[in-house]
Amino acid sequence: MNSKQQTRKAAFAGSWYEGNQAKLNQELNNYLQNAQLQISPIQKIKAMIGPHAGYRYSGPTQAWSYKYINPQEHQRIFLLGPSHRQRFQGCGLSSCNSLDTPFGQIQVDTDVIQELIKTGSFVQTDKQTEEAEHSLEMHLPYIKKIMGDKPFTIVPIMVGQTSYDLEQKYGGILSKYFDDEKTLFIISSDFCHWGERFNYQYHDPQAGKIYQSIQKLDKEGMDSIESHSSKKFAQYLNETSNTICGRRGIGILLHIIEQSALSKTLKTKFVQYAQSSQVVDEDDSSVSYASAITYI
């Protein structure tokens, strides 16, 4: 572990989201007020999946899952997000002690980081790599906003290249933390990236227009996630090649659920879905956003 005190700066504040605290607070309040609680009763939320684009695109969709978080129930948050820029095998642990947001700093759980390093199954990312990646940062202001002044720690994990077996291994390592009643897992993922620039233009004409085909494709993936079957989700990805950028983190979550002592009582439901635009022409492109919660 890097013993030097390091704070990850809010590298995307002022570009991907509002850097001014008051303006950001107002924006997130609006998103949260417009989001609706659809599921009840809920004894406890254990995990959520949410997107990570610029807030004007995905912020409204994120709010639908964040609305379920009760700050009093959580002391530790695991945050898993894909590595878009740096290629490495397995999962990377933060080398920072704290993370900046416009709402104040979040303390990294360095004790848990040390425990995970000792498993020999993780690499450690440097500050430069962490600050270049947006998938984790786009959740930090929401987390700090919701948690407010309630003391908590975070375990940021950047997910690199994995296999089914490796995801299963991480599921086994992380399930004991998941089972802790004061721990919440957040998985950062956008869904289908459609268009020539993403090298993905799947279209099922029987589903209707392109955007309707994309929605049907995403819905099939969401259904496989809700089934809590890591094999079904892996098979779905293999058959469709859907460009879900956080698919490896979602795969790890499914393995965690399968190996959790809570597995028989857990449910996962997607609570909101949106697309950045409705694709009707092959020259168009879009990114899909979805929010889900895993709960008892």
pLDDT digits over 98-135, tens only?
999 999 999 999 999 999 999 999 999 988 898 888 89
**Position 227: which residue type?**
S
Question: Residue 91's beta-bridge partner residues?
Answer: 122, 159
Distance CA 172, CA 175 (A): 5
Task: Specify the residue for token string 């897992």.
Answer: 185
The answer to whether residue 177 scores a pLDDT higher than 80 is: yes
Q: Where is average pLDDT lowest: 25-39, 53-67, 77-91, 207-221?
A: 77-91
Helix H or strand E encompassing 291 = strand 286-295
Q: Within 68-139, where are the H helices?
A: 110-117, 127-132, 134-137
The answer to whether residue 75 scores a pLDDT higher than 50 is: yes
Structure tokens at 278: 């409705």
Distance CA 169, CA 177 (A): 14
Distance CA 106, CA 101 (A): 8
Q: Is residue 96 classed as helix, strand or coil in its secondary structure?
A: coil
Q: Is residue 41 classed as helix, strand or coil in its secondary structure?
A: coil
Fold of the CATH domain 40-295? Protocatechuate 4,5-dioxygenase; Chain B (3.40.830)
Structure tokens at 99: 């993370």
Structure tokens at 17: 């989201």
Task: Specify the residue for token string 């957040």.
Answer: 186
Q: Locate the domains of the chain by residue range.
A: 40-295
pTM for this entry: 0.96
Task: Specify the residue for token string 């790599």.
Answer: 129
Proportion of the chain above pLDDT 90, given as a percent: 92
Name the DSSP letter for residue 225. H
